[in-house]
Amino acid sequence: MKKRMTYINSLDGLRALAIILVIGYHLRISIFRGGFIGVDMFFVLSGYLITNQILNKIKDVPKFSIKEFWFKRIKRLFPAMIMLLMVVTIYVLIKTPERWQSIISDDVAGVLGVSNWWYIIKKVPYTDTFSHPAPLKHLWSLAVEAQFYLLLPLLFVGTNPPKAKKKLAFVMLVAILIFSAISMGLWYKPGDINRAYYGTDTRIFGLLIGSLTAYLYPYKRLANQLPTKTSQLFDVIGTSLLVGLLSFVVFGNEFLSGLYHGGLLIISLVSAILMCLVIHPDTKLNRLFSTSLLRWIGTRSYSLYLWHYPIIVLMTPMKITGIYRVALMFFQVILMFVLAEMSYKYVETPFRKRTRGISWQQQLKQTVKRSATVRIEGLLIGITLIGMIFTTTFFNQMVAKSVDISYEKNKSSKKETIKEPQIKKIPINQVFMIGDSVLLGAKPDIEELIPQSQVDAKVGRQFIELPKILEKNYQHKFDTETVVLISLGTNGPFKEEELSNLYQTVTEKGAHLVLLNTYVPLNWQGQVNHLLADFTSTHQDVVLIDWHDYIADKLAYLEIDGVHPTVAGRELLATLIKEQLTKYFDFQVDTKEAITTESSH
C-alpha cells in the first residue's frame, strides 16, 4: 500500500495570507500596495509541494509516471479554470461584444497555459490599465506554474539509480535558478516591466526556490521534535520575516527597480524560510497558520485567485468613489468567497475525489462522463452571470447619477474669485511640457492656448524616463526665460530623489519648474500627489498645479476610465494650465475666456 504524503495544515494558512495580499492589491487598498508579492509566495509554496511529491514518488515507486503526474495537474487546475473562462467570456460578449476577438484569444492562451507569453506579445501592461483592462490577465502566473509542471518531471526521467537522478536534478535546478534571477535583471526596462515580470524564464526562480527547499528540508525532516529554546528562536525569526514581508506590502510597489535586480529573489528566499518555520509542528507560527479560518481560506485559495480579478475588473467603474466604492468592494469580496466556495465544492472537489486510486486512463474516462457536475456547472454559470450583470448595472447607474449631479452643480455654480499671488511675474518665451497620455490628449488645446508651448507626451510614460528625455532634447535649451512643466504619475509613482534630480537639472541654468499632479484612482495616486505637495512646500520657486482637486468633483469631464479627460475635459485641463502659468509668468497667451480655477502652490 502506498504511503500518502502527510497533509500540512499550516501551508493552507500561508496560502490564505498570499491570496489576501493579492486580493487587497487588486482592490487598490492603499495598505496593500505591495500585495503582488502574494504571487511570489504562491510560487514558492507550489514548488515546494510539487517537488516533495515527486521526490516521495521516485523513492517509493520503481517507475515514475510523467503521464500520471501531468494528468493530475491538469485535473487539479483546469476544471475550475474552464468554468471561469466560460463565465467571463459570456459576460464580456454580452456587455462588450466588440471585444470578442480579444477575450477569445485570451481564453485560448489560458487553456494552453501560455497566458504570460501571450500578454508579452500583446504588450498588455502588468500594472493596472484604464480602458477595458484584460479580465484574464491574472492567468499569467498560472501559465508560469503550468510550464514549470510540464518541465520539472523531465529532470527525473532516464537516470538511475534514484540518488544519482536526484543529484543531477538538484544541480540543474540550481543552474536554472541562477539563470532565471539574472535574466530578470537583464530583461528589466525602466518604464516597461512587462517582459521581466511576465516571462517564465524571469519568474521561474520562485518555483525553483521552493523545489530546492524540498530537497534540503523535506517535510519529514522538518517534523523532527525541537528543543524549547530552538522552537522559540524559530518563532522569533519567523515573526521577524513575516513583519518584513508585511512591511514591504504596506510600503513597497511594483515600480521599484531593485525588485528586478534581486529584490523578488530575496522576497522568494524569505518566503521559503518563513514556510519552513511555519510548517514545523513545534512552532507557535505553525499553530497560528493552522487556525480553522485561515485553513478554510487557504483550501479555497486557487478558486479565490481565479475569480477575484475578473470580478474586480469587470464590476468596478473607474469613476466610482466614496461610499459607493466601499459598498461595491464589500459586495465584491463576498461574491469572491461565494464563487470560490461553489467552485471548490462543486467543481474542484468532485474532480479530485472521484478519481483517486485509479489509473490516469480510467480517470480520463470518468471525467468525460461526469454529466451531473456539468449540469451543476451550467447552473452556477447562469447564476453568476445574472448576479454580475445586475450588480454592475446597479453600481454603474449609481455612479452615473452621482456624476450627473456633480456636473450640474458645477455648471450652475458661480465662478470663484481667486486671489492673485503677490509676486512679480517672470518674463517667459518658451514652455516645455513633458507628460503621459493625460497631457497628450490635451496637446492641441494647450498649444493653441499657449503659443509658446511645446508638448512632448507619450502613452505609458513614467518618471524614470524623464532624465534621458531632458538630456537628449531639452537641457541645452534651458535659460531664465524657460518654463518646464512635468505631468507624470498616471502610470506609477516615483521617488523624492528623482524629483530632486529633476529640480537640479531644470534650475541649474535658471529655468523654472512647474508640476502638475495626477488624478488616477489607483494605489499610487496618494503617494504621487503627497510627494509633489511636500516638495513644492519646501521649494518656493516650484509651482504646483492641482489637477486632482480641480477635477475630483467634475468627473463628467473624464472618460469612462476615470483618468483621461473627455474632449471638453481636455479643454478644461488646457485652460487650467494656462491660468496657473499666467499667475506666475509673463508671456503672451490667447485671450480666450478662461475658466476660473483653484489651485495650490
pLDDT at 422 exceeding the cut of 70: no
User: Cα separation of 421 and 111, whole Å?
Assistant: 61
When pLDDT is cut at 50, 70 and 90, the band that residue 415 belongs to is very low
User: Cα separation of 86 and 67, whole Å?
Assistant: 27
**In terms of residue numbers, what domain contains 579?**
426-586
- Per the prediction, the chain carries an average pLDDT of 84
Identify whether 434 is part of a domain: yes
3 state DSSP class of 435: strand
Known catalytic residue at 437: yes
Identify whether 147 is part of a domain: no
When pLDDT is cut at 50, 70 and 90, the band that residue 406 belongs to is very low
Catalytic option among 231, 437, 453, 599: 437
Known catalytic residue at 476: no
Q: How many structural domains comprise the chain?
A: 1
Q: Under the phi-then-psi rule, with left for phi > 0, alpha for psi from -120 to 50, and beta for the rest, what region is 173?
A: alpha
Percent of the chain with pLDDT over 70: 80
pLDDT at 21 exceeding the cut of 80: yes
The predicted-structure confidence for 37-85, as pLDDT tens digits, reads as follows 999 999 999 999 999 988 887 776 666 678 888 888 888 899 999 989 9
255 or 299, greater pLDDT: 299
Cis peptide before 135 (omega within 30 of 0): no
What count of residues does the chain have? 601
**Low-confidence winner among 400-404, 533-537, 566-570, 592-596 (lowest mean pLDDT):** 592-596
When pLDDT is cut at 50, 70 and 90, the band that residue 162 belongs to is low
Place of cell 520562485: 206
When pLDDT is cut at 50, 70 and 90, the band that residue 125 belongs to is confident
pLDDT at 199 exceeding the cut of 80: yes
Identify whether 83 is part of a domain: no
* CATH value at residue 437: 3.40.50.1110
User: Cα separation of 257 and 262, whole Å?
Assistant: 9
Catalytic option among 192, 456, 549, 561: 561
pLDDT at 163 exceeding the cut of 80: no
pTM over cut 0.95 = no
Identify whether 153 is part of a domain: no
Catalytic option among 40, 343, 564, 599: 564
Identify whether 8 is part of a domain: no
245, 82 in Cβ contact below 8 A? Answer: no
Identify whether 442 is part of a domain: yes
Mean pLDDT of 470-484: 93
When pLDDT is cut at 50, 70 and 90, the band that residue 410 belongs to is very low
Identify whether 494 is part of a domain: yes
**Low-confidence winner among 326-330, 361-365, 494-498 (lowest mean pLDDT):** 361-365
Identify whether 440 is part of a domain: yes
